């Protein structure tokens, strides 16, 4: 293929995506992120952001970021082991580790980078052994960054095998571990999302802790959709399920509930985290989080720790919306997470509903095959603590109107 042919192939692939209605369009916002936003000069209720606690434009978070910009400047201009580390980076590592119930942590530029880094950083080392195999047991619905992290690990650390287990099917996981018993794997890792983002479903952490202990496996939980969200004080899925402090490794993001800017972390035991500081390639070869974002993230943790109502407001809003949307006649995936999937079946219905809802003042995204299984197209509603009761009622009224118009309810 010559270069002209390459560009023309790319052009026709883009046309194919549009024809298949899988092309991703980006909607310009005319306001900052919040419980409501402005789109096409219209104020609409935002139901598609991971801004669970409404901290993306919280005055204290913005003020902390402004202060850090003045005090520490705009950027670090290299990686930490080369150009130095500011005290706020260490402070955030300490604070987030404490918040999620681990000994210490290491920052990355995103949770995607953290997940991509983790497996190969750990497993691409022979630790003086010559003949060994490692195994990673991974929930089939885990986030793309975990899947890519495992793929990368298999490419770099050749003796690594992956064992995907059926979603949340712990019997399947146990069967695989049993079948592998005689293989004497050197290191076993079980990895799961704490909350699965297409369903708003939780992993079963108490059982996973028990399985990991019984099999001498390291339990890794990506709690990106749960840190700041689930549990009485927002400390995540482990707090929600009474296993706080019992997870070996927690990865997460500052790009959702904790201010919504960017940045990720890996939290765990000191020896592991210090080892990752030496071996994680995205940590070693890519700039760290900028000072303003670090300070904003610390301010987000301060807010959550000092004012429990921030988390309870989100939980109340979630319970209210879940109850009322069902009362209108819609089918949802039951649960208690602010991700509330409204099930519609066919992709065309989800596409039409999403467009009609925007006209009625609600910003929401539809998901359909191949992102979710065929025939399970849905609108993924995401509730925020920033929503007022009026915002939620406005959204519910729009759902009622459009749902009836399209004969969904
Ligand atoms: C479960 C999970 N892990 C990781 C990520 C990536 O987070 P970040 O935006 O910090 O890269 C996401 C974001 O979509 C996620 O949902």
Q: Give me the DSSP letters along 337-363.
A: SSEEEEEEESHHHHHHHHHHHHHTTEE
For residue 194, the ligand 1 atom closest to its alpha carbon is: 1
Give the confidence band of 196 by pLDDT, cuts at 50, 70, 90.
very high
Choosing from 138, 145, 197, 280, the catalytic residue is 197
- Is 6 a domain residue? no
Phi and psi angles of residue 106, each rounded to the nearest 5 degrees, phi first:
-130, 135
The alpha carbon of 239 is separated from its chain's Cα centroid by a whole number of angstroms, namely: 17
Q: What is the mean pLDDT of the chain?
A: 96
Same domain, 250 and 348: no
Domain boundary among 285, 306, 327: 306
Query: Of 111, 140, 192, 199, which is best to mutate to test ligand 1, by the most ligand atoms within 8 angstroms of its C-beta?
Result: 111
Known catalytic membership, residue 167: no
Q: What is the pLDDT of residue 163?
A: 97
Say if residues 227 and 266 touch (Cβ distance below 8 Å): no
Is 21 a residue whose pLDDT tops 80? no
For residue 142, the ligand 1 atom closest to its alpha carbon is: 1
Same domain, 366 and 377: yes
Q: What is the pLDDT of residue 123?
A: 96
Location of structure tokens 């000072």: 291
Percent of the chain with pLDDT over 70: 100
User: Rounded distance, CA 406 to CA 409, Å?
Assistant: 8
Q: What is the pLDDT of residue 22?
A: 78
More confident residue, 71 or 19: 71
Give the confidence band of 397 by pLDDT, cuts at 50, 70, 90.
very high
User: Rounded distance, CA 389 to CA 244, Å?
Assistant: 32
Known catalytic membership, residue 172: no
Say if residues 176 and 137 touch (Cβ distance below 8 Å): yes
Average pLDDT over residues 182-193: 97
Q: What is the pLDDT of residue 334?
A: 95
Known catalytic membership, residue 105: no
Q: What is the pLDDT of residue 263?
A: 98
CATH of the domain at 34: 3.90.1150.10
Average pLDDT over residues 264-276: 98
Q: What is the pLDDT of residue 267?
A: 98
- Residue 24 alpha carbon to ligand 1 centre in Å: 18
pTM, two decimal places: 0.97
User: Rounded distance, CA 342 to CA 331, Å?
Assistant: 6
The count of structural domains within the chain is: 2
Q: What is the pLDDT of residue 345?
A: 92
Cβ–Cβ contacts within 10 Å for residue 76, how many? Answer: 20
Q: What is the pLDDT of residue 24?
A: 86
What does the block give as tokens for 88? 């706020």
**Residue minimizing CA distance to atom 15 of ligand 1:** 224
Q: What is the pLDDT of residues 285-340, one digit of tens each?
A: 999 999 999 999 999 999 999 999 999 999 999 999 999 999 999 999 999 999 99
Average pLDDT over residues 67-72: 98
Q: Where does ligand 1 bind, in terms of residues with CB under 6 Å?
A: 110-112, 115, 143, 145, 193, 197, 222, 224-225, 253, 255, 264
Q: What's the domain range around 40?
A: 18-47+308-405
Domain boundary among 248, 280, 306: 306
Q: What is the pLDDT of residues 120-159, one digit of tens each?
A: 999 999 999 989 999 999 999 999 999 999 999 999 988 9
Same domain, 70 and 130: yes
Peptide bond before 370: cis, by omega within 30 degrees of 0? Answer: yes
- Residue 251 alpha carbon to ligand 1 centre in Å: 9
For residue 253, the ligand 1 atom closest to its alpha carbon is: 10
CA distances from 221 to 128, 193, 265, 268, 336 (A): 28, 6, 12, 11, 19
What does the block give as tokens for 323? 């109850």
Say if residues 88 and 263 touch (Cβ distance below 8 Å): no
Choosing from 108, 143, 225, 387, the catalytic residue is 225
- Is 10 a domain residue? no
Looking at the DSSP bridge assignments, the partners of residue 341 are: 380
Percent of the chain with pLDDT over 90: 93
Average pLDDT over residues 262-271: 98
Say if residues 170 and 208 touch (Cβ distance below 8 Å): yes
Domain boundary among 306, 332, 366: 306
Same domain, 205 and 68: yes
Same domain, 42 and 83: no
Same domain, 260 and 345: no
Same domain, 355 and 377: yes
């Amino acid at each position: 293929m010559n270069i002209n042919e390459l560009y023309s192939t790319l052009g026709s692939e883009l046309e194919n995506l549009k024809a298949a209605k899988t092309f991703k369009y980006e909607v310009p916002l005319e306001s900052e992120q919040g419980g409501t936003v402005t789109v096409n000069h219209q104020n609409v209720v935002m139901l598609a952001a991971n801004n669970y606690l409404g901290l993306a434009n919280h005055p204290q978070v913005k003020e902390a970021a402004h202060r850090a910009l003045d005090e520490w400047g705009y950027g670090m201009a290299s990686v930490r082991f080369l150009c130095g580390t500011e005290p706020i980076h260490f402070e955030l590592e300490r604070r987030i580790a404490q918040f999620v119930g681990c000994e210490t942590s290491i920052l990355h530029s995103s949770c995607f980078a953290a997940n991509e880094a983790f497996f190969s950083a750990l497993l691409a080392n022979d630790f003086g052994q010559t003949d060994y195999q490692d195994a990673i047991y991974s929930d089939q619905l885990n986030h793309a960054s975990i899947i890519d992290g495992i793929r990368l690990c298999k490419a770099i650390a050749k003796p690594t095998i992956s064992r995907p287990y059926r979603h949340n099917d712990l019997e399947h996981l146990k069967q695989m571990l049993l079948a592998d018993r005689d293989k004497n794997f050197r290191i076993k890792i079980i990895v799961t999302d704490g909350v699965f983002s297409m369903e708003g479903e939780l992993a079963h952490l108490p059982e996973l802790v028990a399985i990991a202990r019984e099999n001498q496996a390291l339990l890794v939980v990506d709690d990106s959709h749960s840190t700041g969200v689930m549990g009485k004080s927002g400390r995540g899925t482990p707090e929600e399920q009474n296993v706080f402090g019992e997870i070996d490794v927690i990865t997460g993001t500052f790009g959702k509930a904790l201010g919504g800017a960017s940045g990720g972390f890996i939290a765990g035991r000191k020896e592991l985290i210090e080892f990752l500081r030496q071996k994680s390639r995205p940590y070693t070869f890519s700039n760290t989080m900028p000072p303003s974002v670090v300070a904003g993230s610390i301010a987000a943790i301060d807010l959550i720790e000092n004012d429990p109502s921030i988390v309870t407001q989100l939980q109340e809003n979630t319970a209210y919306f879940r109850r009322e949307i069902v009362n209108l006649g819609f089918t949802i995936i039951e649960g208690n997470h602010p991700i509330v999937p409204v099930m519609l079946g066919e992709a065309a219905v989800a596409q039409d509903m999403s467009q009609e809802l925007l006209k009625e003042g609600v910003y929401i995204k539809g998901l359909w095959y191949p992102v979710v299984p065929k025939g399970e197209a849905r609108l993924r509603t995401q509730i925020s603590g920033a929503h007022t009761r009026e915002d939620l009622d406005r959204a519910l009224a729009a759902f009622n109107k459009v749902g009836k118009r399209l004969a969904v309810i």
